[in-house]
Amino acid sequence: MKAKLYLIPTPLGGHAPSDVLPGPVMELIPRIHLWFVEELRTARRFLSAAGWKGHVEELELLEINEHSTREEIEGYARRLGEEDAGLISEAGLPAVADPGALLVELAHRRGIDVVPMVGPSSLMMALMASGLNGQCFAFTGYLPVKTPARREALLQLERTSARLGQSQIIIETPYRNDSLLADILECCKPSTRLCIAADITCPDETVRTRSVSEWRTEVGKGFAIGKRPCVFVLLAAGGVAPKPM
């Protein structure tokens, strides 16, 4: 049979893989020996818990992260087709806001079948729980780090959201969560709605949708996100959202 590249989701929090991954995914993992991973230690822990306990050293783990060069990943891609391989991220879905996306691109260029497997996605779970427009949305990813550029980006996103009725999904490095929130509250209109979805699937999960005006009040009373994995979903007032089918 032709070798494939399987995209394997991982838990978002401290759950055991069997708690969140479907049976077919759990059955597949022990059959794959070649893995492309974002961080070796985390990957070993996940694979051990997902069926390779006591045998992780038998696996071949090739690291693809933000420090990997295109040349390195192109070298790894030459291994595709030799045998079935798996791609995993640090948490959630691989190749979405993840350096593994380049490997997937190269797999397609080499004619390798790419098979996405079912598992948790913080982006979609945040959108589901936000109460905002789930029919028209865009994933923006990370905004600029510097405050002036970030605020300009937020204003542009808010204008787009108002014009299209489009939910804007944003993520940030956890230690910058509260500075991003501060910029949203500083430059966005009071009527714009914002969902903050932190620690999704974890015991201290927080999913709240409020207007910017209401969030300003909550922050004034001491609310802070802290250094938790977080997804922000923003929807401006004024746009005409598509009607549900």
pLDDT value of position 1: 76
| Model confidence at 241: pLDDT above 80 | no
Query: Which residue range is the domain that position 23 belongs to?
Result: 4-116
| Model confidence at 235: pLDDT above 50 | yes
pLDDT tens figures, 53-97: 999 999 999 999 999 999 999 999 999 999 999 999 998 999 998
Are 72 and 137 within one domain? no
pLDDT tens figures, 193-223: 999 999 999 989 999 999 999 999 999 999 9
pLDDT value of position 118: 94
pLDDT value of position 243: 56
Are 143 and 56 within one domain? no
Q: What is the pTM of this model?
A: 0.89
Are 47 and 150 within one domain? no
Tell me the H-state helices in 48-146: 70-77, 101-109, 122-130
Which of 81, 91, 86, 71 is CA-nearest to residue 34? 86
Alpha carbons 104 and 109: distance in angstroms, whole number:
9
pLDDT value of position 239: 54
Does 244 fall in a domain?
A: no
Given 70, 86, 116, which residue is the final one in a domain? 116
Alpha carbons 146 and 109: distance in angstroms, whole number:
36
Task: State how many domains the chain has.
Answer: 2
